[in-house]
Structure formats: C-alpha cells, structure tokens
Amino acid sequence: MMLINFFKRKEKILATPHQGDTNSNDQVKYGFNNLTQHQFQLLLKYGKASANIGGFKSKAFIELPYGMVKKDVPALLKDDKVVEAINLIMECQYEKFELGNSSGNEVFGFLLWILSQYEFIKRIESRHLHSDPDPEILAAGISRLNEFGELSVIDNLANGNLLEYDRIEALPYFKVYQKLKLDKIIREINKKYQKIIEEKTRKK
C-alpha cells in the first residue's frame, strides 16, 4: 500500500523542505520529519485510527468517489503528498474543511484510518473480485494491461466510451465494486454453463 510506503520512506520525510513546497512545510508542521523509523512503526502498531480531523468526520472510503479512492489518493500517497491526499479526501465532502485546524495527533490518526480503509478494500477485492486468468488469456498477453492500472477497469465499465470515464469515477466506490462483483459472478456462471453444455455434447 502507498501509505505503508510513506511510513517506510524515512529519507524523504527527513529531507529539508524547499521554499514554497507546501507539502514539505506541512510535513514539518505536523511533525512527520521529527519521527524515526522506529517511532513510525510504533505509531502503526499502537496508534489509534480516526476518521475525525479538523472538526469533521470522513465517510468510509466505500462511500467516496471510486476514481478518488482507486486512482487519485494512491497517486498522491505514492509521491509522499500526504497533505494533498488528506485535503482531497475531506474537501470532496466538506467545502469549509481546513487542515490547518488539525493537530498533529489528528493527522496521524487520520493517516492510520486511511491505511485501515485501504486494507479493508484490499481484503474485499481479494475475496470477491480477484480471479486467476486462464492460461489462454495469459498467453494472449493480458499482462500488458497492467501498465494502465485502474484505467483498464474504468474503460471496461464505460464500454470503451471515453466520455463516460468521469461519470464512472464519480460513482461511489461500493456501487462500482458491486457491479464488478456481479460481472465476475456472471462470468463464472457462464463459464461453468459452457463446460456443462460441452460435456453433454461429448456424451451424445
């Protein structure tokens, strides 16, 4: 997970902020660059996750926009843009949210909450959406789609219609998840049905 990587990248966190670098300055403000790797690990282990920050409470990720949860926030966390990630999550829910009203403890608690949300999403997707591709589709080169990440999922849901991308990304995560789960079950049923028909045909 990108957030775990953020906690591991001590050398970047301890870097001297550049003038005008809002994210780096905010990392200093909230104490990110004063913590050692060991202290980060203790925070991960014993810290209390909280969806509350700056006087506001975030909805669960499954209720937030799919594109933000699956694309935008992970991209920000990958680049260590933690402050921007928090602002994105909260500002899509509250117009008057100000991260400056938050304490360092609130920020760390919210980061732990983000981690817990992604762990939950990873768990349900692994359980209900993951399936091993058939050898034939692997041989055909389906792995080439990996470079597109979530875009390939969105494109499939949009039936290849670029104009539908934004509309799908704006849907709540859980609504898209339910559709993907339904599609997976239908594929499994059709595959099993086809095998039954083929078996009956061979026995005639």
Query: What's the mean pLDDT in 192-201?
Result: 90
Q: 170 pLDDT exceeds 70?
A: yes
Q: 16 pLDDT exceeds 50?
A: no
- Cβ atoms of 112 and 48 within 8 Å: the answer is yes
Q: What is the pLDDT of residues 119-161, one digit of tens each?
A: 999 999 999 998 887 788 788 888 888 888 899 999 999 999 9
Q: CA-CA-CA-CA torsion for 37, 50, 130, 197, nearest 10 degrees?
A: 170
Q: What is the mean pLDDT of the chain?
A: 84
For residue 142, the model assigns a pLDDT of: 80
User: pTM to 2 decimals?
Assistant: 0.80
147 CB neighbour count, 10 Å cutoff:
8
Kindly tell me the sign of the dihedral angle through the C-alpha atoms of 110, 116, 122, 125.
negative
Residues 6+ apart with CB under 8 A from 170: 65, 66, 67
Q: What is the pLDDT of residues 102-127, one digit of tens each?
A: 988 899 899 999 999 999 999 999 99
